[in-house]
Amino acid sequence: MIPVTLKHLRYFEALARHAHFGRAAESCAISQPALSFQIKELEEILGAPLVERGARQIRLTGLGEALAKRARLILRSVDELGDLARAAHGPLSGRLRIGVIPTIAPYLLPDLIRQLGAQYPDLDIRPREAITQTLIASLNEGRMDIAVVALPVSEASLHEEPLFDEEFALVRPRADADKPVPSREGLLEMRLLLLEEGHCFRDQALSFCKTSRLGAQDLMEGSSLSTLVQMVGAGIGITLIPEMAVRTEMRAADVSVARLPAPRPKRTIGLVWRKSSPMAPQYAEIAHHLRQQFDALKVGWRAD
């Protein structure tokens, strides 16, 4: 009898995650027929179907759902065996899968990669941009090693290490540059542009502005901070962006930027990883190094 292999489990886990043979095959860097063959072989080994095959997507059977959960645990444990060996060798080296949320990635990721590359030349850094919920799931499933996110994430399985705090800046049309900066209450009377659902920065802005008092017609959404700033430049409304985005976004749109009156809204940026990871001491070392480097970078972010 052919035994169940890690290859079977990796391919099946990818299929369960993407619910699509083509996307799963692409994520595994193999052809779709090759993936289909491995899944079919796994079903024959287990003696029962794992997926219901549809025209556009697949659905897991009861056995498939149970196997997907078990496969993720097994694959994460196997990856942690490799981490255990790496941890025993001393200096940080090898693959580092790092996630970054979209309101950080365009502004911080280049500096992040340069700093890590200079400090740890033997690292193979593999970045991925995704919203917080996706990164947390990837961390818990062992498909991500560390992530740079806004804290807190309040996930019992993850360790949170604060790196720095940053304030939010107010973005208005250029014509409003000489007008008094509105108070938080004043923002409630203006058309506020926010990121789409799923972005933690949206929730932070809503919390500060108390936008539950705004009608739907006064609240508009964009897919990225760049889109929001461009909409402000077109005279559609106002928005809030993090300090790290100011320098980049000011170059690309006809807008003005100002600091809000105290108490100013802010967020805490941090590094998170699984508490169970054998690499936890090395990740804490990375956090310490980044904390020192980011203190210097923040000088150029101020919107004064």
Residue ranges of the domains in the chain? Answer: 6-84, 92-304
Distance, CA of 136 to CA of 121 (rounded, Å): 27
Confidence of residue 1 (pLDDT cuts 50, 70, 90): low
Annotation: CATH topology of 6-84? Arc Repressor Mutant, subunit A (1.10.10)
pLDDT at 187: 78
The CATH-assigned architecture of domain 92-304 is 3-Layer(aba) Sandwich (3.40)
Q: Provide mean pLDDT across the span 189-195.
A: 84
* pLDDT (0 to 100) of residue 190: 82
Express each pLDDT in 101-149 by its tens digit.
999 999 999 989 998 999 889 889 999 999 999 999 999 988 899 999 9
| 82-105 tens-digit pLDDT | 777 666 666 678 889 999 999 999
Question: Taking residues 40-50, what's their average pLDDT?
Answer: 92
CA angle 15, 63, 141 (to 5 degrees): 50
For residue 95, the model assigns a pLDDT of 87
Q: For all residues of the chain together, what is the average pLDDT?
A: 86
C-alpha distances in Å from residue 2, one per residue of 6, 47, 99, 176, 214: 13, 12, 37, 71, 62
Q: What is the pLDDT of residues 206-253, one digit of tens each?
A: 777 665 444 444 567 888 999 999 999 999 889 999 999 998 898 888
| Cα–Cα distance, 219 to 221 (Å, whole number) | 7
Percent with pLDDT over 90 in the chain: 49
Quote the CA–CA distance of 230 and 40 in Å, as a whole number.
49
The larger pLDDT score, comparing residue 301 to residue 30, is at 30
Q: What is the mean pLDDT of residues 279-284?
A: 91
Cα(265)–Cα(37) distance, integer angstroms = 53
Distance CA 173, CA 29 (A): 46
Contact 253, 229 (CB under 8 A): yes
- Radius of gyration in angstroms for the set of CA atoms belonging to the chain, rounded to a whole number: 23
19's torsion region: left (phi>0), alpha (psi -120 to 50) or beta?
left
Residue 123 to residue 267: CA distance in whole angstroms: 29
Cis check for the bond before 173: say yes or no (omega within 30 of 0).
Answer: no
Q: What is the pLDDT of residue 216?
A: 44
The pLDDT value recorded for residue 301 is: 56
Q: Which of 254, 219, 256 is nearest to 234 (CA)?
A: 254
Report the pLDDT averaged over residues 24-32.
Answer: 91
Q: Tokens standing for 277?
A: 């990871």
